[in-house]
Amino acid sequence: MSACAPAAIAQDSQTQPDAATTQSDAARIARFETQLKNLRERDDPDAKRWTIEQRMENYGVPGMGVAIINNGKIILAKGYGTQSANSDEPVDANTVFSAGSVSKVINAALILRLVQEGKLDLDTDINDYLTSWKVPENEHSSGHKVTLRMLLSHTSGFSQHGFEDFLPEEALPTALQTLNGEAPAKHEPVRILFTPGSKMKYSGGGITVSQVLVEDVTGMSYAEAARAYVFEPLGMTRSTFASPLPESHGNIAKAHDKQGRPKALPRGYESFPEIAASGLWTSASDMARFVLALMQDEAFLTAELRADMLTRVPLSWHGLGPRINGEGDMLAFHHGGANDHYQSWIEGQPAHGNGFITLSNGEAGRPLGYELRFSADAAFGWPVPFPDGYREPDLGTSEEE
């Protein structure tokens, strides 16, 4: 497994640009941080402008991690606010947040790294790789193979959109208990609902199948495999799939509800045992490295595999992991994440080397993240607009999470 040097961050973890950040970048960052609009007034040129901290207070979000990639360079990786409403501990670029379904893009990269090494093939029947579990036979699966390409693009036919969070005192299911719907899992067994490859249905259940497959093929725990194939090669030293996250990990953004009140006490955060689907803990600086690698790092993934990852699979909104909007110079890949009290967003624009990451520790972080994304668009004049097809925050949850 070839390692690649971690992408250099052109700004420190808090506020002051270093020599690698141009004066123009610094001015745009300042505009990004101080010229936010209320989401409902984003098209009004005369709308009142706000700072990031003011909008965080408005939404009851105590802490955020934000990163911006511009023209192929990480120019901002920074924390805002505090790790908890009950603490003065600041959020910085290395504070970890629960990233929810952004986990699925890490999972896709892990699998593509295994494809790159010849350990997996995207179009082989997954039953050829699975040893501890097999695709259950029913009227939909009989005579039809399920492939990794289907799992990663949500066209496999598997059930189970998402998963409930687990409070600190609750027992956590294993991956096999999750797939079999056995206690302490909180859902029915994961099964095939329609002919594999015939349409798209977003499925955290299918991603959990890929989690078990990775463990069966590598002989590692999933968390160990992610560290070896993704986190270590990219220098993502703060990222982990440990479940539950040990308090000794430190610098952890705690969970808050829509009013900004601490939740999941006394520890202050939930567990997400379906780790490939929703169990990632990561920081703004780590996710900036990851998004940049998906756009330009051939030591991490070959150009051919990155192109495959960032091409829509027929019948799906997704490529292999991320959702894809546009094509050519206007292509953007992205994914959101939403556990009970955390909201996240990652986005990359490969033709231009631009990217955007937000992580928040408040249930109301979704509209705030949108406001930051529109502020970045205005400050940097990116040619690729915010990806279309998203829903307004108060009109329902995106299919992405």
CA distance 13 to 285: 8
Q: What is the pLDDT of residues 195-209, one digit of tens each?
A: 999 999 999 999 999
What pLDDT score was predicted for residue 204? 96
Among the listed residues 207, 331, 335, the one whose alpha carbon sits nearest the alpha carbon of residue 282: 335
What pLDDT score was predicted for residue 355? 98
**229 Cβ neighbours under 8 A, 6+ residues apart:** 1, 109, 110, 113, 114
Between the alpha carbon of residue 179 and those of residues 115, 226, 275, 391, the distances in Å are 24, 20, 13, 30
CA distance 250 to 238: 10
Q: Domain segments of the chain: what residues?
A: 23-395
Q: What is the pLDDT of residues 85-115, one digit of tens each?
A: 999 999 999 999 999 999 999 999 999 999 9
Mean residue pLDDT across the chain? 91
CA distance 165 to 162: 10
Tell which wins on pLDDT, 399 or 212.
212
Q: Is 136 helix (H, G, I), strand (E, B) or coil?
A: coil
Q: Which CATH number fits domain 23-395: 3.40.710.10, 3.40.50.720, 3.30.70.920, 3.40.640.10?
A: 3.40.710.10
CA distance 147 to 159: 15
H/E run at residue 379: helix 365-380
CA dihedral defined by 22, 26, 29, 31, rounded to 10 degrees?
-130
Amino acid at 134: K
What is the mean predicted confidence (pLDDT) over 213-227?
98
- Would you place residue 386 in the very low, low, confident or very high pLDDT band (cuts 50, 70, 90)? confident
What single DSSP character describes residue 102? G
Which tokens in the block code for residue 265? 């006490």
Q: What is the pLDDT of residues 276-287, one digit of tens each?
A: 999 999 999 999
Q: What is the pLDDT of residues 8-61, one digit of tens each?
A: 333 334 433 344 557 799 999 999 999 999 999 988 999 999 999 999 999 999
Contact 83, 76 (CB under 8 A): no
Tell which wins on pLDDT, 393 or 377.
377
Q: What is the pLDDT of residues 308-336, one digit of tens each?
A: 999 999 999 999 999 999 999 999 999 99
Contact 112, 309 (CB under 8 A): yes
Q: What is the pLDDT of residues 345-365, one digit of tens each?
A: 999 999 999 999 999 999 999
Tell which wins on pLDDT, 6 or 310.
310
Q: What is the distance, to the nearest Å, from the Cα of residue 384 to the centroid of all Cα atoms in its chain?
A: 20
Which tokens in the block code for residue 366? 């979704």
Q: What is the distance, to the nearest Å, from the Cα of residue 323 to the centroid of all Cα atoms in its chain?
A: 11
Whether pTM exceeds 0.85 = yes
Q: Which residues pair with 355 in a beta bridge?
A: 69, 348
pLDDT at 395 over 70: no
